Amino acid sequence: MSGLLDGAASEIARAVNARESSAAELVDAALARVGERDAAIGAYLTVADDLARDRAKRVDARIAAGESLPLAGVPLAVKDNMCLEGTRTTCASKILENWIAPYTGTALRRLLDAGAIPIGKTNLDEFAMGSSCENSALGVTRNPWDLGRVPGGSSGGSVAAVASGTAPIALGSDTGGSIREPAAFCGVVGFKPTYGRVSRYGLIAFASSLDQIGPIGRSVGDCALVYAAMAGVDPCDATTVDRQVEPVAARPREDLKGTRVGIVREFALGALDDGVRSVYETAYRDLEKLGAELVEVELPTADYGVATYYLIAPAECSSNLARFDGMRYGLRVEGPDVGATYELTRAAGFGDEVKRRILIGTYALSSGYYDAYYVRAQKARTLIAGDFARAFERCDVIACPAASSPAFEFNAKSDPVSMYLMDYYTIPMSLAGLPSLSVPCGYLTPNGSANPLPLGLELTAPLFADAALLGVAGAYERATKHSARHAPAAAP
């Protein structure tokens, strides 16, 4: 049974729909794996044994009643910033450490309706603020390729769950790269859909104009299957777009003939270390070998992405996180009066990175600084989105590195700005709302390391070209087979 867990999500669903296997058996196998493997990895903050077994029974009953479900019995790991009714939902923060979600978010509910089984909630940088998962207040997650390295972040637990084989698919959220960078670090596929394609209802807000839920899986096909099951307009999230979701092709493209792939002049590979550069040079050549035409495009304002993002995202977070005041939910630390209670609660409940971002955002929005910081950043955002629009007049997708290096060691980035720069290649796409994914594109073994570490190729398409993007990534994956390699922690 556990062999099925290493196969495609579509194959798991097929076997369950055909009653060759059952959701109950698959969930037992997945939970057994969590028991065997997760002590070393730490992907999960909560393992939802009882809920998972209960949901599995319900899915098996639906199959027995004659239904056919696209994700029948597929075990799912869920980033712990998404509400799942009756389950602890912490955002990896002390302020929500014991909070039980009273409802299930839309994206997750759609996956459950499609037959997926939530087996647990995964670790993240507190409130999704970070690029290494080291900002979690509730646990350490290790990279399944090298336990001395970070899994990336903020969706570090979800990518580690998939890379260690405990869950074939997972949900993450991406605000400035939080699905793509960790997917690259852990050798899995991570997809951030177009802003507005997937409902954010039930996703605890960080930066509302940027946050987007997306799938993580071992293959582009698995991500496409999850995306198709959850995309589409939702009355509970007014920013979802009421526009038909383009169907994802059932079969991957054979080649990339007729596809123009943009290579960004400002992202010249010369800035990278030799080993990293050579992996990306090979990746670009592989796209060409598949028949794609490589064209140089310019994103002159992309270099300003990190600066723009670190004004807009903190500004939105300072507003969104004002709700954590110790009154209606979560931690409360009593002070002599209500003002002191707010201040002590938030001082005790939030970690340093969350405090830093709330302070930056509060400052950028405060009287006298609003125009100089926040409004200027919103104007820079207009320029960045305009650059992408011009680039896409000349190409169909843009290819670039997902990160400038493979996964780094714990405590390697103690200075906040150096950590922020880890998202250099992912932030501009987020600011422009574009669909963007990371697909494994090669491996390198750094000096002094025992294990090869994966690297990710980031592919980005115009707004709403999600299905076309998945098609290009699928063809690349099928030809290069980099996704097929397993992390040592997932050795069968």
Partner 1 sequence: MASGDIDVAYVAKLARIALNPGEIEKFGAQLGALLEHVAALEKLPTADVAATAQVVPSVNVMRDDAVVPSLARETVLAGAPQREGSYFRVPRILAEE
Q: Which of 194, 199, 219, 426 binds partner 1 (CB under 8 A)?
A: 194
Of 12-71, binders to partner 1 (CB under 8 A) are none
Yes or no: say if 449 and 146 are a contact pair by the CB < 8 Å rule.
yes
Residue 178: active-site member: yes
Adjacent-strand bridge partners of 30: none
Q: In the block, which residue shows the tokens 């592919």?
A: 459
Of the candidates 167, 157, 144, 181, the one whose C-alpha atom is nearest the C-alpha of residue 452 is 144
Cα pseudo-dihedral 5, 6, 9, 11, rounded to 10 = -90
Span from 134-142, 254-262, 265-273, 415-423 in contact with partner 1 (CB under 8 A): 415-423
Report if residue 241 touches partner 1, rule: CB under 8 A.
yes
Q: Which of 318, 320, 405, 460 binds partner 1 (CB under 8 A)?
A: 318
The three-class DSSP label of residue 287 is helix
Q: Which of 178, 318, 430, 438 is catalytic?
A: 178
- Smallest distance, partner 1 to C-beta of residue 35, A: 29
Report if residue 92 touches partner 1, rule: CB under 8 A.
no
Residues 317, 313: Cα–Cα separation, whole Å: 6
Assigned token pair, 142: 């290790």
Yes or no: say if 443 and 452 are a contact pair by the CB < 8 Å rule.
yes
- Smallest distance, partner 1 to C-beta of residue 138, A: 18
Instruction: Determine the number of helices (DSSP H) and then strands (DSSP E) in the chain.
Output: 16, 11
Q: Which of 22, 79, 132, 483 is catalytic?
A: 79
CA dist list (Å): 2 to 7, 75, 135, 162, 365? 9, 12, 33, 14, 52
DSSP codes, 113-143 = HTT-EEEEEE--SGGG--SSSTT-SS----B
Of 460-479, binders to partner 1 (CB under 8 A) are 463
Report if residue 409 touches partner 1, rule: CB under 8 A.
no
Span from 63-71, 190-198, 215-223, 479-487 in contact with partner 1 (CB under 8 A): 190-198
Secondary structure letter of residue 382 according to DSSP? H
365 burial type by CB count under 10 A (0-12 exposed, 13-18 middle, 19+ buried):
middle
Report if residue 252 touches partner 1, rule: CB under 8 A.
no
Report if residue 239 touches partner 1, rule: CB under 8 A.
yes
Of 197-236, binders to partner 1 (CB under 8 A) are 209, 235
Of 108-137, binders to partner 1 (CB under 8 A) are none
- Smallest distance, partner 1 to C-beta of residue 365, A: 9
- Give the N- to C-terminal CA distance of the chain in Å, as an integer: 12
Q: Which of 332, 370, 404, 409 binds partner 1 (CB under 8 A)?
A: 332
Read off the amino acid at residue 38.
D
Assigned token pair, 209: 């104009």
Report if residue 359 touches partner 1, rule: CB under 8 A.
yes
Of 423-442, binders to partner 1 (CB under 8 A) are 431-433
Assigned token pair, 237: 């999230």
- Smallest distance, partner 1 to C-beta of residue 428, A: 12
Angle between the 9-17 and 23-41 helix axes, to the nearest 10 degrees? 150
Q: Which of 45, 256, 302, 306 binds partner 1 (CB under 8 A)?
A: 306
Read off the amino acid at residue 377.
A
Residue 57: active-site member: no
Dihedral-angle region of residue 240 (phi above 0 means left; psi in -120 to 50 means alpha; beta otherwise): beta
Q: Which of 22, 136, 154, 430 is catalytic?
A: 154
- Smallest distance, partner 1 to C-beta of residue 18, A: 37
Give the nearer residue to partner 1 in terms of CB position, either 239 or 451: 239
- What element of type H or E holds 460? strand 453-460
Secondary structure letter of residue 33 according to DSSP? H
Span from 31-39, 129-137, 291-299, 303-311 in contact with partner 1 (CB under 8 A): 303-311
Q: Which of 19, 285, 323, 379 binds partner 1 (CB under 8 A)?
A: 379
Residue 154: active-site member: yes
Enumerate binding residues for partner 1 (CB under 8 A): 99-100, 102-103, 194-196, 209, 235, 238-239, 241, 301, 304, 306-308, 310-311, 318, 322, 325-332, 334-335, 337-344, 346-347, 350, 355-356, 358-360, 362-363, 366, 372-373, 375-383, 385, 415-417, 420, 431-433, 463
List active site positions.
79, 154, 178
